[in-house]
Amino acid sequence: MHNYSIKIVILFIFISGLCLSHNPSGNRKIEFPDLPGFKTVVCDLHMHSVFSDGSVWPDIRIDEAKKDGVDVIAVTEHLEYQPWKEDIPNPDRNRSFEYHSYFAKDTDVMVVNGSEITREMPPGHANAIFIKDANKLLVENPIDAFKEARKQDAFIFWNHPYWISQSPDAGVPVSELHYALIEDGLIEGIEIVNDTTFSNDAMQLALDHDLTMLGTSDIHGIVDWQYKIPSGGHRPVTLVFVTEKTESGLKRALRDGQTVVWFNKKLIGKDDFLLPLIEASLKIESAKYIKNSSVVHVKIANYSDAPYVLRNKSAYDFYNTTDLVTISPHSSSIVDVRTLETKTRFDLQFEVLNAVNAPFKHPTIRFRVRPQK
């Protein structure tokens, strides 16, 4: 019995060690800094439960959001597609929102009411969030569903427009109907990231038509399994930059395009908020000339979850590394800069390779360095 107990203890320690090796801090919450004048809110605005074609009860979605540090969720059940209706009748399409709100009432998770308009292409699938009554969107003509959502002052975005089930080449099949919906304000945003997929075409459409960029999990099953969170993965989310964490503040920020998508360890968005987010994440912590040299010991700190990969675009090269610099999440890295002569200040410029501001393009950031002698 004694030897058996020892073996059990050893096994437990081994398994615990494996788990900790994936995430030493044990913290899986998605963390990014606030911006000057804005609070950074982590949102997942497209997901499902057993009230449409998902596999989990609403309390699981709330628990997952709490663990992941997701501030706002919208569980957007399919309006027209109800495969479990024989076992889980759902005549009131607001019931899912009511259940999720009930389980979230003693948490910091905000639940907004939403539904997925689920039609053939065109127009395809779209989410309407901040709705007041999902039942009124159950109409025969899909355009009438969009108009009813607008009547309820919903924020409407095009879901996975490049989904291969509706677009076999994974392109974005923009039709005259879509252009009309955009022109009439019936499509205000677009998913450039859905689940494990990303689309350059969707991103370009957002840039061309000033649509808000979104990234969502569209989770149907278990978040941990889909995104390998115990191994260090994360769900895709939309970072929304708000002046106040209220429904009206969130809706206003979404309509104003104040978003950045966090997907597969990468940041994707328009420069307006992507660059300020990177600048808030990375700071020069210290800079000092190495004794009797013209080499500056520069320490760059990272206050975010993003593992930044920077390519040197400065007028100076480095003494201790190549032109590629990696700064792990919530840590710092040292760059020894060869200035050739002593300077009171100089600039470092980097291309941020794990950030995308347009298809196949990366933003550039600049640091002003004031070294001590």
Report pTM. 0.91
CATH architecture group of domain 26-264 = Alpha-Beta Barrel (3.20)
Does residue 14 carry a pLDDT above 60? no
338 contact partners, CB below 8 Å, separation of at least 6:
294, 295, 316, 317, 318, 319
Q: Higher pLDDT residue, 85 or 268?
A: 268
| pLDDT confidence tier of residue 17, bands split at 50, 70 and 90 | very low
Least confident range from 6-15, 140-149, 157-166, 359-368: namely: 6-15
pLDDT given for residue 90 in this prediction: 87
Distance of CA 124 to the CA centre of its chain: 23
Q: Which CATH class is domain 281-369?
A: mainly beta
Q: What is 218-245 written as a DSSP string? A: -BSS-HHHHHTGGGT----EEEEEESSS
358 residue type, one letter: A
Contacts of 335 (CB under 8 A, 6+ apart): 298, 300, 318, 320, 321, 325, 348
Higher pLDDT, 84 or 97: 97
For the cut 60, the answer to whether the pLDDT of residue 224 exceeds it is yes
User: So what's the pLDDT on residue 83?
Assistant: 87
Of residues 264 and 9, more confidently modeled? 264
Which pLDDT band, with edges at 50, 70 and 90, does 25 fall under? low
pLDDT tens digits for range 271-284: 999 999 999 999 99
Residue 23 — pLDDT band, cuts 50, 70, 90? very low
For residue 17, the one-letter residue type is G
pLDDT at site 1: 41
Say which residue the tokens 């966090």 belong to. Answer: 262
Share of the chain above pLDDT 90, in %: 89
- Determine contact, residues 348/337, Cβ cutoff 8 Å: yes
Give the type of residue at 323. Answer: D
d(CA 329, CA 146): 41
**Average pLDDT score over the chain:** 93
| Residue from 201, 247, 293, 219 nearest 56 by CA | 219
Domain boundaries, the chain: 26-264, 281-369
Is 10 a residue whose pLDDT tops 50?
A: no
pLDDT tens by residue, 123-143: 999 999 999 999 999 999 999
Q: pLDDT band at 373, cuts 50/70/90?
A: confident
Identify the pLDDT of residue 26: 65
Residue with token string 């919450």: 29
